């Protein structure tokens, strides 16, 4: 499994720095100062495929009653009623609060633990490093149900079932390997000279880590935080297995159960509005940090 | 690993974490101090992951060997492999098993083909490339449940975008109850997955693409290779490690699929995945023993596939492992 790391380390620097130098000759080879019209068709097809669902979600969220049931391509009478309804729904607000707490706590704790581990794995001499990396990576391939099922029973025994802490702990287990892998590759990129001069001044490895590496790794830490946050926010199986009441349910579960109230009275408009509300912040995050997210995804090469 | 270059500086480092003098036995003392720090820095993560991953799986193994029902107030009785026999001899597990692999096969192959095409597109120099990259990345930020709801509304009978457009244009499919039939429901689930995760495959493949050096292409050009020949004979083979990597991650993820069928069909019309079946037995039917057996079976299936992948990409892995040391 340690392959994955190594492939990543060869691929990552190129994604960030190595590419521009190499790109121009290839462009010449393909003779593409201007794109062939057929290629433009592909460009627009890809854009359409990516964006149309967003359009339809927003469109649905602005409709009510007849307008909704006719499935108009444009809302003839756009209304924000659905949004108002969502913000007046105590269950949604509770779910939003839960999601924020879970995602923030998990991300913070994962980042602290992972930065220690990642530094050791990136820079220090260590016994059985390959084995440890393999073990960590194998955690990411666990199907969540294999943990959720027994945890359902354990948590019920010890009273963590249907609590926020009961969700944070298992989510942390999946967030840690993601954070460790992404951070390891970021740490590897920090120039060694800086650390070495710290050693010259008599610093211990831990001091070098805390005083030299960590401050320099802030961009990498931020990127990792975004990736972990998105994956924790998105996670569904643990959330649905380990909660039962609105007091502990995070947003994705709350939205999934919105639709289940009645077969005939699907509150499609409200569900869509709620979906838009939780999508907007993450879309803004992606727009602002897309370069970092790309480098983090390709560097860690771990699904978020 | 890259530790060789650390050695000049490490000469000074004869102190442990707390500044304690480390007994120096030749050059090993320094190494030992460093190893100790490394161990202490890694241990918290490892302990947590071990506790939260290994302990529950061990417990699941135990539960799966028992008849344990919440309905009968947690009555527990050791039954050996009975739960496994029940699961493996009934139709549900094999149906879910087949559907999960069908889903994984369809969605991963589509994602790899589309992802490669998308990566090639993103690697071209053209005005608007940055915009394209941002746009294809957006679905990644969408919570899977939301993406499932969105696709559900797009394929809703009469009022969905897709059904609406198809029936307005008089094309077939406009009057289909998409989520009400196995084949169509599976198609929507695959589409929703492709929409959300193709960008991930594309980015990994793009990273692989950018490592291929220009000289390789120049050589191909000098040999008179056409663009297509260059792609098939130069790009694809060199891209293989990146594509295999994307395939591994996407397959592992696809085999664990849960939220898409959960929201889109609740597992109806033969779209239940392995994870969903285990969840249903556990939470809805309160069959803890059988649910645990099913989750162990899911776990073993995913592990088996990852072992096959490692075998399949074995050459790469040995090379890479060497590099890693």
3-state secondary structure B170-200: CCCCCCCCHHHCHHHHHHHHHHHHHHHHHHH
CB-based contact B295 A25, cutoff 8 Å? no
pLDDT at residue B101 greater than cutoff 80: yes
| Dihedral of alpha carbons A195, A198, B4, B25, sign | negative
DSSP designation for B1:
-
Percent of chain B at pLDDT above 90? 27
Looking at residue A50, what is its pLDDT? 92
| Contacting residues for B217 by C-beta, under 8 A, at least 6 apart | A25, A26, A29, B230, B234
pLDDT at residue A178 greater than cutoff 50: yes
Q: Which residue of B has its CA nearest to A116?
A: B41
CA-to-CA distance for B297 and B294, rounded, in angstroms? Answer: 5
CB-based contact B207 A54, cutoff 8 Å? no
CB-based contact B214 A271, cutoff 8 Å? no
What 3-state class would DSSP assign to B11? coil
Residues from chain B that touch A133, judged by Cβ atoms under 8 A, are 324
CB-based contact A30 B302, cutoff 8 Å? no
pLDDT at residue A113 greater than cutoff 90: yes
CB-based contact A241 B133, cutoff 8 Å? no
- Higher per-residue pLDDT: B243 or B11: B243
The two structure tokens encoding residue B320: 């890479």
| Nearest by CB: B154 against A56, A129, A139 | A56
| Nearest by CB: B45 against A39, A180, A279 | A180
Task: For B157, list phi and psi in degrees, rounded to 5.
Answer: -60, 135
| Nearest by CB: A252 against B44, B125, B143 | B143
pLDDT at residue B43 greater than cutoff 60: yes
Interface of B with A in 54-83 (CB under 8 A): 56-57, 59-60, 63, 68
CA-to-CA distance for B110 and A153, rounded, in angstroms? Answer: 38
Looking at residue A10, what is its pLDDT? 41
Longest dimension (CA), chain B: 84
Looking at residue B214, what is its pLDDT? 76
Looking at residue B28, what is its pLDDT? 67
Q: What is the mean pLDDT of chain B?
A: 81
| Nearest by CB: B146 against A172, A203, A255 | A255
pLDDT at residue B251 greater than cutoff 80: yes
| Contacting residues for B116 by C-beta, under 8 A, at least 6 apart | B201, B202, B205, B239, B243
Q: Is B288 exposed, middle or buried (0-12, 13-18, 19+ CB in 10 A)?
A: buried
Q: Which residue of A has its CA nearest to B314?
A: A3
Of A203, A196, A246, which is closest to residue A91 (Cα–Cα)?
A246
Interface of B with A in 189-218 (CB under 8 A): 195, 197, 199-200, 203-204, 206-208, 210-211, 213-214, 217-218
Lowest mean pLDDT across A97-111, A131-145, B230-244, B307-321: B307-321
ipTM of the complex: 0.81
What pTM did the predictor assign?
Answer: 0.83
Q: What is the mean pLDDT of chain A?
A: 81
Lowest mean pLDDT across A278-282, B19-23, B278-282: B19-23
- Higher per-residue pLDDT: A79 or B118: B118
Distances (CA, A) of A235 to A90, A99, A177: 22, 10, 15
Rounded to a whole number of angstroms, the distance from the CA of A174 to the nearest CA of chain B is 8
Q: What pLDDT, in 10s, does the model give residues A27-78?
A: 444 444 577 888 888 899 999 999 999 999 999 889 887 777 777 788 888 8
- CA trace torsion A202, A207, A209, A213 (10° rounding): -70
Over range A249-271, report the average pLDDT.
Answer: 75
User: b vs e for B181-216, b when ≥16 Cβ sit within 10 Å of the residue's Cβ?
Assistant: eeebbbebbbbbbbbbbbbbbbbbbbbbbbbbbbee
pLDDT at residue A19 greater than cutoff 50: no
CA-to-CA distance for B96 and B286, rounded, in angstroms? Answer: 19
> Which site among A25, A125, A181, A240 would you substitute to test the B interface, given the most B Cβ atoms closer than 10 Å to its Cβ?
A125
């Amino acid at each position: 499994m340690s392959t994955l790391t190594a492939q990543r380390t060869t691929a990552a620097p190129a994604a960030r720095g190595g590419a521009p130098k190499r790109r121009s000759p290839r462009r010449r080879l393909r003779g593409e100062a201007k794109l062939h019209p057929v290629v433009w068709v592909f460009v627009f097809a890809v854009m359409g495929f990516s964006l149309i669902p967003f359009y339809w979600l927003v469109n649905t969220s602005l409709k009510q009653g007849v307008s909704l049931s006719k499935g108009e391509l444009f809302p003839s009478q756009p209304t924000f009623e659905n949004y108002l309804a969502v913000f007046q729904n105590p269950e949604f607000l509770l779910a939003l609060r839960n999601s924020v707490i879970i995602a923030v706590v998990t991300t913070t704790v994962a980042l602290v633990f992972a930065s220690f581990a990642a530094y050791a794995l990136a820079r220090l001499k260590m016994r059985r490093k390959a084995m440890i990396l393999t073990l960590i990576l194998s955690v990411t391939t666990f199907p969540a149900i294999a943990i959720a099922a027994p945890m359902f029973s354990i948590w019920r025994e010890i009273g963590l079932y249907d609590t926020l802490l009961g969700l944070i702990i298992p989510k942390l287990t999946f967030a840690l390997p993601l954070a460790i892998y992404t951070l390891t590759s970021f740490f590897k990129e920090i120039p060694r000279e800086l650390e070495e001069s710290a050693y010259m001044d008599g610093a211990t490895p831990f001091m070098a880590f805390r005083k030299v590496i960590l401050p320099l790794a802030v961009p990498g830490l931020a990127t990792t935080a975004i990736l972990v946050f998105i994956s924790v926010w998105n996670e569904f199986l643990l959330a649905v297995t380990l909660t039962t009441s609105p007091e502990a349910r995070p947003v994705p579960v709350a939205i999934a159960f919105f639709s289940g109230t009645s077969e005939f009275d699907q509150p499609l408009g409200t569900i869509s509005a709620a979906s838009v509300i939780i999508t907007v912040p993450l879309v803004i995050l992606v727009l602002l940090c897309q370069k970092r997210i790309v480098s983090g995804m390709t560097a860690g090469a771990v699904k978020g | 690993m890259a530790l060789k270059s650390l050695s000049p500086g490490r000469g000074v480092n004869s102190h442990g974490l707390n500044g304690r003098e480390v007994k120096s036995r030749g050059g090993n003392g320094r190494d030992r101090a460093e190893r100790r720090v490394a161990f202490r820095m890694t241990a918290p993560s490892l302990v947590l992951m071990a506790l939260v991953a290994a302990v529950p799986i061990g417990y699941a193994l135990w539960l799966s060997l028992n008849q344990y029902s919440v309905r009968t107030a947690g009555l527990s009785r050791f039954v050996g492999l009975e739960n496994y026999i029940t699961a493996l001899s009934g139709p549900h597990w094999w149906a879910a098993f087949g559907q999960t692999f069908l889903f994984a096969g369809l969605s991963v192959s589509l994602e790899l083909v589309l992802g490669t095409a998308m990566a090639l597109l993103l690697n071209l120099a053209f005005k608007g490339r940055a915009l394209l990259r941002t746009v294809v990345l957006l679905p990644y930020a969408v919570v899977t449940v939301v993406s499932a709801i969105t696709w559900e509304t797009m394929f809703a009978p009469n009022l969905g975008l897709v059904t609406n457009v198809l029936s307005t244009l008089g094309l077939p499919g406009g009057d289909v109850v998409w989520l009400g039939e196995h084949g169509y429901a599976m198609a929507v689930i695959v589409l929703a997955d492709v929409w959300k995760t193709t960008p991930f495959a594309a980015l990994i493949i793009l990273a692989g693409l950018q490592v291929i050096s220009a000289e390789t292409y120049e050589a191909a050009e000098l040999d008179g290779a056409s663009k297509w020949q260059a792609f098939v004979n130069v790009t694809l083979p060199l891209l293989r490690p990146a594509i295999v990597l994307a395939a591994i991650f996407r397959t592992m993820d696809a085999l664990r699929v849960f939220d898409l069928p959960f929201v889109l069909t609740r597992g109806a019309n033969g779209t239940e995945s392995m994870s969903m079946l285990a969840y249903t037995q556990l939470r809805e039917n309160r069959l803890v023993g059988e649910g645990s057996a099913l989750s162990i079976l899911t776990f073993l299936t995913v592990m088996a596939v990852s072992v096959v992948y490692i075998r399949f990409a074995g050459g790469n892995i040995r090379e890479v492992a060497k590099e890693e040391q």
